[in-house]
Structure 1
């Protein structure tokens, strides 16, 4: 030891730095240099029997300077001691979950957080591992990141016990996770595996209609026998654009972007021809391309990310695809006029929610004043969209929608909002909305669902579960970055504390059965989005705001950040 210290004293500073570099290289080279094993089937060789791939041209760079999204923080590189402490707690929570995933469910899709096992629910392609790659990088867990890359490099997309996969879920989790991790690290193995997977998923468009099948039947896809469905969730086709556009950008191969642009063009052509002009129905006929026949409209389940991706695609294409900005503006107007409502609350809070609408045969609209945890993304959507199109009224709506979800969290005994619930709508989203307890009680009895201890204002909690979802925290993150409002930091911390208290297990965090009960029964389930989205957004909320700036990155619906074209901000 003495000899070592004397030896170092005899070296110059440059030599010491060189030696430190060598030691670092030796320590990490086994992770950074990995051999990529190609999948056993080459999906790029599949013949397109029905339609030639359209020649649209890939978007590879910015065409205009877009308006700034993120607030100008005074000291953006620094955070307070309290923020740092909070971030460290969230990091510790992530580390516990990752450590137990590594121990009990390594290379499987999900950790079972109660029984300390694993399960495969997404093809057995290590969904939690791939979904968490960018979170590992962002949190500075580089050794864990490079170990996970080694697993990715050996994945065979043709090796799965399943006969098909969900195109939407595999795109947002696996393809999005690989592309984001590549954007952050530049590790070539991730791009190679993303290209293999993209070539597989893009065959979902090899159908008679040229629109994607929601489920990729592997054997049918290899022989061109896939068919698109007659009644599919709008997200199945409307939520692929970000991932495939980014794949075209980084590979300079237009085929991925060209395919999803076909869907966007049809969306634009049909947007004002539906039964609620400006919006698309929750379900589409992808076999014919008819998006206009259904009567149900929502921004919740089956439709959410279709709308979320409109302003985000405008940002990712550097303003080149103006149709996305136009579609966002038109959709936001319809959503504001028909779906947004202010609920009656005991304290007469000025908050908003997004419900759903049924259009009757005579054209009249029937609002269902529901709330969905999935719909809580909409606050962030309005915030980002409003900034990009230069309309501050959208930002104000986004803040009220975000505050609505915060209010719903605080209302329940567990401090968490339920999956689905109903409220009583005020006559208008503008102006006063006095609390009428008698009216609320009448509606409560009419909607009675077995819960006799609902918070005032709620008429039911039809689905009282919490599945570790991120959408409310996502909007808190985005609206904090847009407005700089300090109270959103405290709101996020209160939400995290409630979630962790109700869901924590010795091995991870588990979904719960009833948010209306303190100490609710837990489910042996921890979906990959807990690590990919919920904890990532919480970590970023309490991190220096110049990290992952909204002016430089755009997040897909699974919270995977893609780098925006330089020169667009």
Structure 2
């Protein structure tokens, strides 16, 4: 059993990682530029002469020697014709003229919003990772490898912005991976944004230059796996890699080590080279082997030890931040591999069975909505699992995940769970004054998921117990600006996140229910009303103020702050109701569509 002291150390270390530009995706701006061209000969494999990359031209990671080669044959992509998997997408009928008119007007508004942000990025931050939407400056927290540009190649293609796509490709294929603005590279973020962005744009356009650039990124990222146990260093220092003797870290966020599978697998599929698939297949085998050995069998804790390949020690379990895309990728990998690798169904079935039992809860709401949310669990055993009824914007992805898994694996109950989780996020958006859901909050968990009547006194008691302040509970609720049902809002930001709209999009595609399109539109309107700047759109520091308070200036100043992450355009503005069928494409966690393997 992991001690409380050691658990605290794990969480403190994980928190430090987050604050240093981690999983909540707030990059550090760095003015330094780190060059990976070594002034001394690179280390070579034992028995071989030193190797040195070409002194001129782009830096090539594929010529850097491997210190710890794979022992034995590489794991190969599953062989054989893909299976005929169940249909995912709803069979849409011809829409009415009024519906088509409304849809096209809404599409045009979203497209205008994207174009406005794109041209602001082009004018003020071209080639940088992000536009600063208030100051008009640029940020480079993801290596300075043009994250916004690469992240939006496929969005440009989908929106028919052909000239802009051509210009962006010309710039993207000339990114120099021998120079970085950050000493440490987040392997997960680089994989989902850059590698995923190039692969998706290649899948759509067929431009082989994009595939070649994807291979360049793939070669670099593979060097993070050059450790004694071939598990990756998720916060990787390229300059150190040139000196050799790397080893994986003892404190790793489970999402960051477990969410590389789609991109590495797709790279192997389109190149015919199994080395990338082999790298992530090793991680998948480890998750499979230890799935039933954790403190909450079926799921894996938020923090794992990659140095010794131990995934069972920690006691904190979540579908939310730091875990989310690990679980998201199980049904998506099943689809992408054409159902030929059964381990992903096993991992999905086992983890979701545990999550349904332990993490999902029905929140008590003033109007008794039949909705679900996903919280966090502290567990030293299945019997001693304790739920914290938290809600996160990040965990809103889970509605789409359950719905997709329910269709692919013939589990209708999971589609219904996905719908209730998505409805929970829709409710949370509407419950806040700006019509936008906060990053992190808490609610009262109902005793039953079948029926749950609003109990105002119970809500008030839970508010008081959670905060334990010696003031009147009504004053406390007013001071904390808590809508009815919320017992705490510990992170009041909205950072232009896509997860709620993502699940609404997937549920609409799966069910065809019109209210979901209307809900997505309401979200878009609320977000743009609160985040629009003179240049583009900015994150919001506090969504608990009303529009009237913001207009009257009673909040102590603007609540916008100078951040517009690449996923605003790459994800939040991408989800469109009638482009790219879910039966032909599967989206990675950064909303980059990859072609599915389909039967002939």
Do both proteins adopt the same fold according to a TM-score greater than 0.5, normalized to the shorter chain?
A: yes
Pair 113,551 (structure 1): closer, same or farther in 2 beyond 3 Å: same
Match of 1:458 in 2: 486
SS in 1 for 2:564: coil
Distance 1:104 1:41 in 2: 27
SS in 2 for 1:192: helix
Match of 2:511 in 1: 483
Distance 1:223 1:61 in 2: 41
2:595 is the counterpart of 1:563: yes
Match of 2:413 in 1: 393
Distance 2:81 2:198 in 1: 23
Question: Given the alignment, which residue of 523, 543, 563 partners 1:515?
Answer: 543
SS in 1 for 2:131: strand
Question: Given the alignment, which residue of 144, 159, 167 partners 2:164?
Answer: 144
2:327 is the counterpart of 1:307: yes
Distance 1:295 1:379 in 2: 24
- The CA deviation at 1:360 is 3.6
Distance 1:490 1:253 in 2: 44
Contact 1:133 1:145 in 2 (8 A): yes
Distance 2:95 2:267 in 1: 31
Provide Cα deviations, 1:487-531, integer angstroms capped at 9, x if missing partner: 001100101000000000011100001111133510010000000
Contact 1:414 1:502 in 2 (8 A): yes
Match of 1:323 in 2: 343
- The CA deviation at 1:475 is 0.2
Pair 257,116 (structure 1): closer, same or farther in 2 beyond 3 Å: same
Match of 1:44 in 2: 62
> For this pair of structures, how many residues does the alignment match?
524
- The CA deviation at 1:75 is 2.6
SS in 1 for 2:496: coil
Distance 1:564 1:336 in 2: 28
Distance 1:249 1:362 in 2: 39
Match of 1:529 in 2: 567
SS in 1 for 2:441: strand
Distance 1:226 1:363 in 2: 39
Match of 2:387 in 1: 367
Contact 2:297 2:382 in 1 (8 A): no
Question: Given the alignment, which residue of 423, 437, 440 partners 2:459?
Answer: 440
Provide Cα deviations, 1:108-150, integer angstroms capped at 9, x if missing partner: 1000111111111101100000001000000000100000000
SS in 1 for 2:404: helix
Contact 1:402 1:476 in 2 (8 A): yes
Question: Given the alignment, which residue of 56, 66, 71 partners 2:75?
Answer: 56
2:525 is the counterpart of 1:506: no
**Which deviates more from structure 2 when the two are superposed, residues 160-169 or residues 77-86?**
77-86
Contact 1:62 1:319 in 2 (8 A): no
Pair 318,371 (structure 1): closer, same or farther in 2 beyond 3 Å: same
Contact 1:60 1:317 in 2 (8 A): no
Contact 1:39 1:156 in 2 (8 A): no
Contact 2:332 2:586 in 1 (8 A): yes
- The CA deviation at 1:98 is 0.4
Provide Cα deviations, 1:45-104, integer angstroms capped at 9, x if missing partner: 233322426511124774211111111111389961000000100000000000100000
SS in 2 for 1:115: coil
Q: Which runs of 5+ in 1 are unaligned?
A: 1-37
CA RMSD, 1 decimal: 1.7
2:88 is the counterpart of 1:69: yes
Match of 2:124 in 1: 104
Pair 183,459 (structure 1): closer, same or farther in 2 beyond 3 Å: same
Pair 478,83 (structure 1): closer, same or farther in 2 beyond 3 Å: same
Distance 1:244 1:60 in 2: 17
SS in 2 for 1:271: helix
Pair 226,525 (structure 1): closer, same or farther in 2 beyond 3 Å: same
Distance 1:306 1:72 in 2: 30
Distance 1:213 1:44 in 2: 18
Contact 2:379 2:386 in 1 (8 A): yes
- The CA deviation at 1:39 is 6.5
Distance 1:399 1:225 in 2: 48
Provide Cα deviations, 1:165-224, integer angstroms capped at 9, x if missing partner: 100000000000000000000111111110011000011111122111012211222343
Pair 459,392 (structure 1): closer, same or farther in 2 beyond 3 Å: same
Task: Map 1:283-302 onto structure 2 (within 5 A).
Answer: 283-302=303-322
Distance 1:447 1:161 in 2: 42
Q: Give the TM-score normalised by the residue count of structure 2.
A: 0.85
- The CA deviation at 1:277 is 0.5
Match of 1:189 in 2: 209
Pair 383,153 (structure 1): closer, same or farther in 2 beyond 3 Å: same
Contact 2:296 2:382 in 1 (8 A): no
**Which deviates more from structure 2 when the two are superposed, residues 556-565 or residues 218-227?**
218-227
Higher relative contact order (Cα pairs below 8 Å, separated by 6+ residues)? 1
Distance 2:319 2:244 in 1: 33
Q: Which runs of 5+ in 2 are unaligned?
A: 1-55, 470-475, 551-557
Pair 107,59 (structure 1): closer, same or farther in 2 beyond 3 Å: farther
- The CA deviation at 1:453 is 2.4
Distance 2:78 2:212 in 1: 20
Distance 1:428 1:169 in 2: 38
Match of 1:26 in 2: none
Pair 221,77 (structure 1): closer, same or farther in 2 beyond 3 Å: farther
